[in-house]
Amino acid sequence: MKNYKITLIKGDGIGPEIIDEAVKVLDAVASSSGFHFSYDEALMGGIAYDITGDPLPQETITKSLNSDAVLFGSIGGPQWDDLPREKRPESGLLRFRKELGVYANLRPAVVYDELINASSLKPEIIKGVDIMVVRELIGGIYFGEPKGRDENKGWNTMVYSREEIVRIAHQAFRIAQKREKRVCSIDKANVLDVSQLWRDTVIEVAKEYPDVELTHMYVDNAAMQLVLNPKQFDVMLTGNIFGDILSDEASMLCGSIGLLPSASVGEKIGVYEPIHGSAPDIAGQGIANPIATIASASMMLRYALGEVEAADKVDNSIKKVLSEGYRTGDLAQFDAKEVCSTSEIGSIIANYLER
């Protein structure tokens, strides 16, 4: 029996609750699919700072690199907002991504038919939406030098090398080949020199993928087009800060940020996590929606472990839960037949898999 070693980083806020439900589902699908998981927990975020004085202990990096994949919950909370920037949970996460070399963030935005009324947009606009945002994750303005602040001004630098653009572009084109074969590259080439380099480099890479259609769009227009006509997009390729914003916008096409997963992948390891935050205001109440984390676990099965059939089983179980009207509180007003707790939703999905 195959055994996969998974590093679990539960983090802060609702992180422990949602990771526990994903583990419940992973164990259920493993049992029915003929493989096994072993888990090793590691610290990151505010809890890591409280215990070790560092939001990212070296042990966490080591454990992660020695595993088959990382399943991550969420970090942060107001109690750590006044720390020096390098000690804040978010700084640990940025450093974590850089240390692991996970340069490509994959964020699908898929509208479930069962929740089509949960979106603020009209059903005819969003029905059938299936977008993959491919965001460069360890470059751009979040990592560029110089950066700093004095009492009168602050400054950050958006920097991309050709090599960084080439590798993320290849990711986008390879993903598009398995979808509708369309890539829209998002930049601000009419204003930013770094975006002109981005555009020119993506055009070069596109020559290696003659079966994929490449278009370009300025980021401000892309933000508008996402709500005007989202079905025009298949794969959206973009840099770190633009992708951060656009992927959150795309998530709201689907009605709830609590539904959407993500994968951060590199040459050595992949990190799988929900796109939402730590939601400290509802932590410990058992009302968080675990579906985004469970769907992230499905992405882990598919992309990191190659267990495509098991991933399909998890995805189908999520759809079945939604089609039968089970909802957490964030979706209770949308055709709910039964409002469930975090743990109940996880158990229902797991039970479908066991059957």
Mean per-residue pLDDT over the chain, rounded: 95
Q: Is 110 helix (H, G, I), strand (E, B) or coil?
A: strand
Q: Is the pLDDT of residue 256 over 80?
A: no
Catalytic residue among 130, 248, 312, 315: 248
Catalytic residue among 10, 24, 63, 188: 188
Burial class (CB in 10 A: 0-12, 13-18, 19+), 175: buried
CATH of 1-105+257-355, one of 3.40.718.10, 1.20.144.10, 3.90.800.10, 1.10.10.10: 3.40.718.10
Q: Using an 8 Å Cβ cutoff, are 152 and 169 in contact? A: no
Catalytic residue among 4, 49, 103, 142: 142
Asked if the 120-254 domain carries CATH number 3.40.718.10, the reply is yes
Q: What's the rounded mean pLDDT across residues 86-101?
A: 95
- Known catalytic residue: 40? no
Query: What pTM was computed for the model?
Result: 0.89
User: Looking at residue 2, what is its pLDDT?
Assistant: 95
Q: Using an 8 Å Cβ cutoff, are 245 and 222 in contact? A: no
User: Looking at residue 252, what is its pLDDT?
Assistant: 83
Q: What's the rounded mean pLDDT across residues 250-264?
A: 87
Sorting pLDDT into bands at 50, 70 and 90, what band is 354? confident
Q: Using an 8 Å Cβ cutoff, are 88 and 80 in contact? A: yes
- Known catalytic residue: 220? yes
pLDDT digits over 210-219, tens only?
A: 999 999 999 9
- Known catalytic residue: 320? no
Catalytic residue among 12, 187, 234, 244: 244
Instruction: Compute the CA torsion angle 302, 306, 309, 315 (nearest 10 deg).
Output: -10
- Known catalytic residue: 142? yes
pLDDT digits over 280-318, tens only?
A: 999 999 999 999 999 999 999 999 999 999 999 999 999
pLDDT digits over 176-209, tens only?
A: 999 999 999 999 999 999 999 999 999 999 999 9
Q: Where in the chain is the domain with CATH 3.40.718.10?
A: 1-105+257-355, 120-254
**Helix ranges (DSSP H) in 207-323:** 219-228, 240-251, 291-299, 308-323
- Known catalytic residue: 112? no
Q: Is 102 helix (H, G, I), strand (E, B) or coil?
A: coil
Sorting pLDDT into bands at 50, 70 and 90, what band is 138? very high
